[in-house]
Amino acid sequence: MIVAEQKPINEIVDSLNGFGRIVIASCGTCVTVCMAGGEKEALAVRGVVEADAKAKGEDVSVSVVNLKRQCDDEFVDDLEDELLDGDVILSMACGVGVQFLADKYPGRLVLPALNTKFYGAAKELGYWTELCAGCGNCLLEKTGGICPIARCSKSILNGPCGGSQDSKCEIDAEIDCAWHLIYDRLSELGQLDRLNEIYEPRDWRTNRDGGPRSVRKDDVNISDSE
């Protein structure tokens, strides 16, 4: 899932300065699961924004609208009236949701409340780690199911580099060396020979380097747009 965390609250409060009617839009999917932008977090932000207005003696109204998903038309349409019943939308969604609303409502300012971080999973309650970089050309079959692109600090393909020590990355002793993990896993699987392959310089066009990407599934998307 997409993992995000809330922007520093002062940035959020500052960005809302001058607006009298604020709509906070939570998102019920990834950012709820990673406890950054669900209804609970939206309520907490509302508390701070209202308390701030009260302290400054300003007349500000704040409402919370809970969207199941901010990146699909139908969910947004259902709550459009509530969503547009203000001067500004503070989106508690990932960068996708913020832009989706901004695209959908060109006349309305949509502000982000979160910093979108990575694709990852919860290791334990309240602790998420990055597992995928969305590079567009998965090579997990060669590396024992451990991604060197996302989990090696340098994203190198013929690792480990000279900087890893005692299975930890030189960037931070808390970070596991991905290539150490790959070696251990393949060794456990009895497939160390997979490491004999030398990777040529990678074609990064499938990654962000090829510009914004899109996916079309023709058997489903049968529009005549082509």
Partner 1 sequence: MSVWILGNNNLNAEVERCVVAAGMDAVVADGVDRRNAVIDAVIITEPPRIVALGEDGAEYGLASPTTNLMDDAEVERVESLKTNDKIAILLDYGEETPEYIAAKAIRTAKRFAGKKKEVVFLSKVVKCGYGGGEQEYLAARDAGVVFVKYEEASISYDEEADSFTIKANDGVLDMEIETPYVLSAVVRDIPELEKISKKLRLYKRADGRVNDDRFFLHPAFSTRRGVYYLNPALVAKGSERDAVQRVMLSVIADIKAAAVPGYEQEIVRRWGIPEVDAGKCAFCYSCYRACTHGAFEPDAEASAMKVVEGLCQACGTCVAICPGEAIARKGGGDLAMTGDVSKKIKVYCCENGAAEAFDGVLPSLGEYAGTIDSERVACGGSVSADILANDFIDYDTIIIACCIEDACRHMDGDRRACKQAERATELFQKASIDGKRAIVIQASHAMENVMKDKLLSILEG
Which residues contact partner 1 (rule: CB under 8 A)?
A: 8-10, 13, 28-29, 32-33, 35, 38-41, 43-48, 50-52, 54-55, 66, 124-125
- Residues 10 and 113 sit within 8 Å (Cβ to Cβ): no
CA 173 to chain centre: 24
Least separation in angstroms between residue 13's CB and partner 1 is: 5
DSSP per-residue letters across 151-168: HSTT--SS---TT-BTTB
With respect to partner 1, which residue has the nearer C-beta, 128 or 144?
Answer: 128
Q: Shortest approach of partner 1 to residue 118 CB, angstroms?
A: 17
**What is the CB-side half-sphere exposure of residue 203 using CA atoms within 13 A?**
5
Cβ proximity to partner 1, 60 vs 146, nearer residue: 60
Phi, psi of 118, deg, nearest 5: -170, 175
Backbone phi, psi, residue 96, to 5° = -65, -50
The distance of closest approach from Cβ of residue 49 to partner 1 in the complex, given in angstroms and rounded to an integer, is: 8
Q: Which residue has the tokens 């060109």?
A: 106
Closer residue to partner 1 in complex, CB, 154/168: 168
Amino acid identity for residue 65 in this structure: V
CA distance 136 to 133: 9
How many residues comprise the chain? 226
| Closer to partner 1 by Cβ: residue 39 or 130 | 39
Least distance in Å: CB of 171 to partner 1?
A: 25
What is the distance in angstroms between the CA of the first residue and the CA of the last residue of the chain? 31
| Shortest reach from residue 34's CB to partner 1, in Å | 8
- Report the residue number, 121 or 132, with the smaller CB distance to partner 1: 121
